[in-house]
Chain A
Amino acid sequence: MTYAFAAPLITFFEYSFYRFRRGRLEQVFTLDTYSRFLFDSYYHVVIYDTLRMATIVTLLSLAIGYPLAYALYRINRPAIQRWLALLIFSPILVSVVVRSYGWIVLLSDQGPVNWLLLRFGVLAEPATLVFNLFGVVISLTHVFLPFVVFPIFSSLTRLDPALKEAAEDLGANWWTTFRRVTFPLSLPGVVAGAQIAFTLALGAFVTPAMLGGGRVLVLPLQVYNATTDINWPVAAVGGMALLVISMVAVAAFNRLLKYSEAR
């Protein structure tokens, strides 16, 4: 199984050292593509945009996901809890293409969101909500929400209720109890959710391609464009960069996870 993954990646790695000249691939060893990637400011912007998009998406997913996970945890009726869990989970079953298309319709100039904003006089004329970074971020947050909610929910349920009662018996109000007891103990779930959201956002292709309108040029899109332009060395180097970035991110989050569990 490992071999099945390794063989294509080795081929991929090999192509990153070949030369691409005048629209043709030459099997000549060169480090040019790497050096261009490292020193050209165009690629710096691409990498910066990718990291920025992934960071914003992760933060927004946590901001919506944490209260939602907490609400799921606090609901006292098993039936409602079950239905809410199913509701949060079910978008996973719908294709990313369909969900991204839904956001295009929702956020378009004559779409429901702009209609509401105009209707209630928030805006004088429709805002451009899609085919830019905003649309991509909203749509990706929607796609990754379940992956953030369930790890947080699961670490909340592992919490010993006695700790909370002890804190309340000692006179702590709800905010202090949350801030000093509940939240720190749920950190492993937060870190695990953030790890999934961040790495998935780094590799996201469909949503930026559909909702970016050509303005959100992230690394996966750059890899795709280079591949279709048969510039395989550039595609391979871009892919290697993406792989290295996500490996570093996973390692960093694992480190953070150990730290958050030790508390």
Chain B
Amino acid sequence: MAVVNRSREIPPLRYVALGVFTVAASLFIIAPLAVVVLNSFNNVAYNVFPPEELSTRWYVNLFSQDVFYAAAGRSIVLAALSTGIALVIGIMAAYALVRYKLPAPDLIKASLLSPIVLPKIVLGVALFMFFVRIRMLDNYSSLLVTHVLVIAMVSASLANFDWTLQEAAMDLGAGPIRTFIRVILPQISLSVGISAVFAFITSFDQVETTIFMVRTGSNTLPVEMFLYLQKWQDPTIAALSTLLILFAIALVMLISLMLRGRRLPFLPQRPGEDTQ
């Protein structure tokens, strides 16, 4: 921190208060996830704190339910496919914007960004009606298109690649493909990697856009969980959620590994540092 904190020797009351607040807020952030993990080991079918007896019966129950396996498989395949497609389109679009100085790139950028105002449930219902109209609803591609669109919508603001170096490489006589592989790809790999993680998560978390398009027996995982919770409240969902939380922790590890030695992308430069 560049700021010299002069009051550091004797921490005044307000810093203590801020510290206490920060701890409380951290608890607030962690609590709903921690309680899910705890509840998954609860022996009884209703929510009770503190748990009277611990057991792993909900995990046993979870692993015996084929619907969740199938739904998880569908969600992973769908997320991987839509992430791949969205990344290729996104990189091409961002590349075209810079490389070919398109007329009025501001306008294109604005139209790429505009769907942020679009509530996801509106997009979901609109796509549902559209696919019904063009008779494409029972098609896997309708689900894929939906997920690619949602990723595009959510990540439009995140896609902020730095393309300045590629012009230098081209000026030095490198061909376009060589420039792309040798210069651009290493440059944007961090952005692409993080975008990919986000895209995957976004796709994996879709309920309101997907719920109209899936049929009973072919649900994605979050929709399956959402519908299950409408009927039951037993800790089977807690067991499944615990596995998903472990998955998220693995992702956090992956991100921090990707960011090792680099500045966090959402922590901006400080004044005085070179701002590009």
Contact = CB atoms under 8 A, between A and B. Distances in A.
A247 B117 contact: yes
Given A98-B244, A145-B29, A247-B117, A4 B126 contact: no
B14 interface: yes
Nearest to A178: B14
A97 B30 CA distance: 15
Interface string A137-176: 0010010010000100110011111001000000000100
Given A5-B149, A223-B121, A227-B212, A95 B32 contact: no
B165 to A, nearest CB: 25
A82 B264 contact: yes
Interface string A79-95: 00110111111111111
Interface of B: 1-5, 8, 12, 14-15, 18-19, 21-22, 25-26, 28-33, 35-36, 39, 46-50, 89, 93, 111-112, 114-123, 125-130, 133, 145, 149, 152-153, 201, 204-205, 207-208, 211-212, 222, 225-226, 229, 233, 237-238, 241, 244-245, 248-249, 251-252, 256, 264, 266-271
Contacts of B25: 64, 67-68
B35 A93 contact: no
Interface of A: 1-2, 4-5, 7-9, 11-12, 15, 64, 67-68, 70-71, 74-76, 78, 81-82, 84-99, 101-106, 108, 110-112, 114-115, 139, 142, 145, 150, 153-154, 157-161, 164, 174, 199, 202-203, 205-206, 209-210, 220, 223-224, 227, 232, 235-236, 239, 242-243, 246-247, 250
A8 B121 contact: no
A7 B226 contact: no
A235 B212 CA distance: 13
A150 B212 contact: no
Nearest to A206: B207
A205 B248 contact: no
B209 to A, nearest CB: 10
A154 B248 CA distance: 25
B120 A203 contact: yes
Given A67-B21, A161-B2, A235-B125, A102 B93 contact: no
Contacts of A110: 46-49
Contacts of B238: 101, 105
Given A11-B130, A235-B125, 4 more contacts: A4-B145, A8-B127, A94-B245, A174-B14
Contact of A104 (B3, B233, B252): B233
Contacts of B149: 4-5
A243 B119 contact: yes
Contacts of B48: 110
A11 B248 contact: no
A213 B274 CA distance: 52
B32 A102 contact: yes
B147 to A, nearest CB: 12
B273 to A, nearest CB: 10
Contacts, number: 226
A199 to B, nearest CB: 7
Contacts of A105: 32, 35-36, 39, 47, 238
A36 B88 CA distance: 45
A108 B114 CA distance: 39
B226 A206 contact: yes
A11 B130 CA distance: 6
Contact of A220 (B2, B208, B264, B270): B208
Contacts of A97: 205, 207, 222, 225-226, 229
Contact of B28 (A81, A99, A142, A161): A142
A190 B25 CA distance: 18
B108 to A, nearest CB: 8
A138 to B, nearest CB: 9
Given A68-B22, A232-B129, A242 B35 contact: no
B204 to A, nearest CB: 7
A71 B22 contact: yes
